[in-house]
Amino acid sequence: MSNKRIFITGGASGLGEALAEVYAKEKWSVCIGDIHEERGQKVVRKLKGMGARAHFIACDVTQEADVQQAADWMVAKWGGVDAVVNNAGVATAGAFEDAPMEDWDWIININLLGVVRGCRIFAKIFQTQGHGQIINIASAAGLVHLPGMASY
């Protein structure tokens, strides 16, 4: 088993789950953070079934305390972290003029500020350790403007 450790936000489904599986196959220890505990635990069971060391932690990237709790867990239980994937993301659809400000706030708080929180908190650990990688996931929708998805 590798001694590499990774933390993935939004790891309970979609791309985050797929990334967790890839790292598990490479024998990394995989900790996933997500707001969906039931789905997260299901992914952890699948990863453990693959022979990986895996853990789920409830983590809402809009809450700095949740991200800090995940970082603290990684240090306390696994002795640190080698890579962090800021993957959690959401989207809305609809006409620009109809999108309520709450949608904009929600998306920015998760898709942008969630990444900022992850970078700030885990960078401190990487500085202390002397190593680490941050992988920030972004959508091609940031470059290709899809009709009805202005807030995304």
146-151 long-range contacts (CB < 8 A, ≥24 apart) are 148/93, 148/94, 148/95, 149/91, 149/92, 149/93, 150/96, 150/99, 151/92, 151/94, 151/96, 151/99, 151/103, 151/104, 151/107
Q: How many whole angstroms separate alpha carbon 32 and alpha carbon 85?
A: 10
In this prediction, residue 111 carries a pLDDT of 95
Residues classed as catalytic = 152
- Residue for token pair 């904009």: 104
Q: Give residue-wise pLDDT tens across range 12-38.
A: 999 999 999 999 999 999 999 999 999
In this prediction, residue 1 carries a pLDDT of 58
In this prediction, residue 151 carries a pLDDT of 73
pTM tops 0.85, yes or no? yes
pLDDT tens sequence for the chain (152 residues): 579 999 999 999 999 999 999 999 999 999 999 999 999 999 999 999 999 999 999 999 999 999 999 999 999 999 999 999 999 999 888 888 888 999 999 999 999 999 999 999 999 999 999 999 999 998 877 777 777 777 76
